[in-house]
Amino acid sequence: MPTKSRKALVEVIRPPEDDAIAPLVKEILVKLGEDPGRDGLVRTPERVEQALRFLTSGYRTDLKRIINNALYEVKYDEMVVVKDIEFFSMCEHHLLPFFGKMHVAYLPRDRVIGLSKIPRIVDAFARRMQIQERLTQEVAQTIQDAIEPVGVGVICEARHLCMMMRGVEKQHSGATTSAMLGAFRDRKKTRDEFLALVSHKNNGY
């Protein structure tokens, strides 16, 4: 998704000036043995603050506002699938990024949600301090609560820089998590159909 449209998804509310992050970043630079006054770092604290506020803007996203404007009464009983939703998030353990794709499906009961709202729900939760397992579950549960479908399935495939840059330093390892609710948990046929629709021979994650 282009950067401009991603920025339009959430309204970033800037906290009061006395809650500024930049002075704390400056302190961290000093603790790391750097000179925050040198040319390359003079504006770094402010840039880091802006980046962190954007990357955590999900805390300030009004999910009800996103969802309630796009619920439609429709008699449709086939699976709805939105796949390959790209996302970027921050590992809450090391504050390093993890990124990947999410595949979301649901079986409507008597309502559907606008297709563009599903990526927005993903972003609302991805732009927080996260772990992949919780991110996957939160997306599934939000859709379940919003439209009460027959079932919801979510698969998340991601690569974690906390594994790639540090620790075990495995460059090609990835993680896959899933959340299956309702029919996706109870009916093997439904689950298998979902898995077949989103399977990739080589997706890079």
Asked whether 62 and 9 are in contact (CB, 8 A), the reply is no
Is residue 30 located within the same domain as residue 96? no
Cα dihedral value 51, 55, 60, 64, nearest 10? 150
- Decide if 132 is catalytic: yes
Residue 98: inside a domain: yes
What's 186's domain CATH number? Answer: 3.30.1130.10
Is pLDDT above 70 for 21?
yes
Domains in the chain, number = 2
Is residue 118 located within the same domain as residue 85? yes
Structure tokens at 56: 């955590």
Is residue 87 located within the same domain as residue 49? no
Mean pLDDT of the chain: 88
Neighbour tally for 14: CB within 10 Å: 11
Is pLDDT above 80 for 81?
yes
- Decide if 91 is catalytic: yes
In this structure, are strands 71-73 and 111-113 parallel, antiparallel, or unpaired?
antiparallel
Q: What is residue 164's predicted lDDT score, i.e. its pLDDT?
A: 86
Q: Which of 50, 141, 144, 162 is catalytic?
A: 162
Q: Which of 132, 137, 156, 157 is catalytic?
A: 132
Is residue 122 located within the same domain as residue 190? yes
Residue 203: inside a domain: no
Is residue 161 located within the same domain as residue 91? yes
Residue 67: inside a domain: no
Query: Which residue segment(s) compose the domain that 38 sits in?
Result: 3-55
Is residue 77 located within the same domain as residue 7? no
Q: Which of 11, 92, 133, 148 is catalytic?
A: 92
Residue 182: inside a domain: yes
Is pLDDT above 90 for 10?
no
Is pLDDT above 80 for 197?
yes
Q: Which of 11, 27, 93, 148 is catalytic?
A: 93
- Decide if 92 is catalytic: yes
What's 50's domain CATH number? Answer: 1.10.286
- Decide if 103 is catalytic: no
Is residue 84 located within the same domain as residue 45? no
- Decide if 94 is catalytic: yes
Q: Which of 103, 137, 157, 160 is catalytic?
A: 160
Q: What is residue 15's predicted lDDT score, i.e. its pLDDT?
A: 53
Is residue 114 located within the same domain as residue 188? yes
Residue 66: inside a domain: no
DSSP 106: E
Q: Which of 49, 50, 86, 94 is catalytic?
A: 94
Residue 60: inside a domain: no
pLDDT tens for residues 97-154?
Answer: 999 999 999 999 999 999 999 999 999 999 999 999 999 999 999 999 999 999 999 9
Is pLDDT above 80 for 183?
yes
Residue 142 to residues 48, 185, 201: CA-CA distances in angstroms? 30, 16, 29
- Decide if 160 is catalytic: yes
Residue 70 to residues 62, 64, 80, 112, 154: CA-CA distances in angstroms? 14, 10, 15, 8, 20
